[in-house]
A = this chain, B = another copy of it.
Amino acid sequence: FAEQLPEIRKAIQEASFFAIDCEFTGLASDRLIFPFDTPEEVYQKTVEANTQYIIVQFGLCAFRVEPAADDDDESAPTEPRLTYKCYNFYCYPKGRTHIFSCQGESLRFLADHGFDFNKLFREGLSFATEAEAERLRSDLKERQANRAAALQAAADGTADDAEPADVNMVPVPAEHQEQIDETAAKIEAFLQSNDTELIVENCNGFQRKLIYQMIEHKYQQRISTSTITLENNHKCIKVERKRTAQEDQAIEQKRVAQENEDLQTMIGLSVVLQELSKARKLVIGHNIFLDLLYTIRQFFKPLPTDFKEFKKLTKEIFPLLLDTKYLCTNAEIKVNVNSSILAHVYEAVSKAPFSIPKVQSGMPEYGYSVEEQKEHEAGYDAYLTGLCFLGLASRFNMDLQNLTKDATLKQYLNKIFIARLLDNNYINLNGKEPTHSREHIFYVTFPETWRTGDIVGKFKPFGSVHISWLNNTSAFVSLHNRIASSSVLKTIGYHPGFAVHSFAQFTQMKLQRLGFKRRRDDSAGAGKQGASAGATAGTKRTATADNSNAKKEAKEKGETLGNEEDELASDGDEQDANDGDAGADGWRTVKRARTTFATNDDW
C-alpha cells in the first residue's frame, strides 16, 4: 500500500470524477423509520441508533475524461476519451481498543460473494479519523522528543539519578527467588563466556519483570536487554553485553524510523480518503446514504447530531456528490429504468435510448470487466456505478468535460436518496427539503383481528385509500381524494378499539414518547420482537395461502425462520435488491413494517 500510495494519489489528482462503494459489517436498522418521516428524522434516528458497524471494503473508481486525441485524425471521433483506475481496499482497524459490531447475515453474505475475511483481518488497511490521527502524531512526537532528551542526558552523563532505584523495586515473592538466583548465575556465566547473547525463556510477564529488575539492579553497567517473541508467540528476555552510546543511538534511530512507519500504517486508508476529499471533484455513489455516513464517521469526523451541521460537514468533505439512485427518480429516466437496483439500472442503460461510452482501464493489468459478475466487491460496484452514471448521463447528452455545469445534473447534485420514505425521499445538502402536506394522512389503531378490508371499509365514505401498515394494530391511511380529509375525524364510523388520529396528533404523540425514551438493546430484545411479529403476521394470513411454493410464501407473507430471511445484506443497495424499491407506492414498506414492528412500543 505504502508503495502504491503515490500512484493512487496521482490517479486521484488526475481524475475527472469518482465513483465509490462500500461494504459494511452491518446495516443500520430501519425498523424505526416511518414511511412519512422527514429526511431529518431519518438522519437523526440513524445517528442516534449509534451502530458500530464499520466499512470493511472501500471501492474507489477514478474516471478520467480527456479531450479527443486529435481532431485531424480521421479515425478519431470527437468524443472525449474515457479511462478509469479502480481500487478495492480492504480496511480493518489496528489497535486493541477498537470494538465494532457485525450483523451475522452481512458477513455471511459477503463471504458467499467471495469476500476474503482472512485477508481482511490479517492485511486490511487501518484507518483513523482526523482527530485520532492528530492524537497519534502528537503522542509519538512527544515520546520521541523525551527519549531523545534522555539519550542525550545519558551520553552527557547528566542523567537524573535523584530517585534511588531501590524505592521502586518490586519485592521478590519467595516462590520466585530460586528462579531469579538461577537467572543471575546464568548471566554471570554468560559474561564469562564468548557467547553473544543469552535467551531467558519460559517466564510469564511478572517473572520477566522481576528479572529485568534484578538485571537493572545488579548488571546495569554490563548488560543490555530486550524482549523477543519466539515463533510460538512466547516472550523471552534477550541478554547481551552493554551497548555503547553510539549503538544505543543507532538503535534509537531505527526505532524512530519504525515508529514513523507504524504511524502511517495506523492512519492507513484515511490518507486516500483525505486525498479524495482534497480533490473537490464529483463523487458518485448509488444509494449512497449509508456509505456517506459511515465514510465520514470512519475516516473523517464523528457524525454531528444536528442535521444542518451534518450537511455543512458533508459539503466540506465532499462538495459535489451525486446519488445515481436519486438520479433514477428523474421522470424521463423512469420511463426506461423501472427498477433502481444497481444491476437493473446497468441492464437498462446498456440499451437504447441510453448508451454507455467506451471506458478503458487506466491500469490494463487491473481492469474490471462487466462480465465478471463480481457484484458486492466494492471496487466492482464502484466501477458499475460509474458506468451506470455514464449511461444515465447519455440520456441528457451531458458534456462529460464540464459535468458540474450541466443544468440537468445540477438539479440532482448533493441530493442523497433515502429509502423507505413515501415522499420526501432525499436529503438536500444544499438547502431545505421540500415539505409535503400531511393533512390527508391518518394514524389509525385497531383490534388485532382487523385486516385490510376492515380499514378500507371504515374509510369508504372518503374514497379510495392507501394503507401503510406499521404493525398488527396500527397503520397510516392516506386518502387519494385529499379534499375529503377535513371531514374524516368528524364523521368516521365508530368501532370498539378503533381510533383515528390526524398526522399532526401522531407527531405530537411521537414527541411525547421521545421524552420517555428508553435505551433499547438493538441486538437482543428488539430483534426478537421483530422476528416474532413477523411470525404472527405470517400466521394471521396463512388462511388465504395461495398456490406458491415454500420460498415464495415465506417471503411474501413475512414468515420468519431465520435462515429463510434474505432481507439483510451488507450494502444498502443489495438490501434494496432483496426488498424491492420502497418507491412510489410503498407496498414494500407495508410488508417490512409488518415483519419488523412488534408492538406500539416499538417506536
Contact = CB atoms under 8 A, between A and B. Distances in A.
Interface in A336-395: 338-341, 343-344, 347, 373, 375
Interface string A146-169: 110111011000001001100110
B92 A147 contact: no
A542 B102 contact: no
Interface string A92-116: 1111111111111101101110011
Given A102-B100, A111-B122, A122-B112, A227 B551 contact: yes
9 contacts: A111-B117, A111-B118, A150-B542, A153-B543, A160-B543, A167-B452, A206-B587, A225-B548, A227-B555
A262 B96 contact: no
Given A243-B547, A580-B209, A146 B542 contact: yes
Interface string A118-139: 1011100010000010011001
A308 interface: no
A4 interface: no
A535 interface: yes
A432 B426 CA distance: 61
Contact of A202 (B136, B220, B347): B347
A550 interface: yes
A37 interface: no
Nearest to A243: B547
Interface string A403-419: 00000000000000000
Given A150-B543, A206-B583, A26 B523 contact: no
Nearest to A344: B202
Contact of A96 (B103, B121, B242): B103
Given A202-B347, A375-B233, A552-B226, A338 B143 contact: no
Contact of A339 (B207, B549, B556): B207
3 closest residue pairs by CB, A with B = A205-B580, A95-B562, A97-B527
A514 interface: no
A100 B95 contact: no
A565 B97 CA distance: 10
Contact of A523 (B100, B122, B202, B545): B100
Interface string A222-233: 011111110011
Contact of A108 (B92, B170, B535, B577): B92
Nearest to A108: B121
Nearest to A547: B224
Contact of A563 (B94, B146, B154): B94
Interface stretch (A64-72, A172-180, A183-191): A172-180
A532 B437 CA distance: 51
Nearest to A213: B587
A225 B97 contact: no
Interface stretch (A5-13, A251-259, A269-277, A288-296): A251-259
A539 B108 contact: no
Contacts of A544: 150, 160, 163
A92 B104 contact: yes
A566 to B, nearest CB: 8
A287 to B, nearest CB: 13
A52 interface: yes
A567 B234 contact: no
A320 interface: no
Interface in A421-459: 451-453, 456
**In this complex, which of A212, A334, A523 has the most chain B Cβ atoms within 10 angstroms of its Cβ?**
A523
Contacts of A121: 107-108, 110-111, 117
Name the interface size band of chain A. 35 or more
Contacts of A117: 111, 117-118, 120-121
A142 interface: yes
Nearest to A227: B552
A266 B563 CA distance: 7
A602 interface: no
A115 B532 CA distance: 34
Interface string A528-544: 10111001001100111
Contacts of A347: 202
A135 B536 CA distance: 12
Given A561-B262, A580-B206, A543 B344 contact: no
A212 B112 CA distance: 29
A69 to B, nearest CB: 37
B205 A464 contact: no
Contact of A102 (B99, B531, B583): B99
In this complex, the member of A126, A170, A176 whose beta carbon has the largest number of chain B beta carbons within 10 angstroms is: A170
B562 A136 contact: yes
A105 B122 CA distance: 10
Nearest to A131: B528
A258 B120 CA distance: 34
Contacts of A571: none
A580 B173 CA distance: 15
A375 B535 contact: no
A21 B103 CA distance: 24
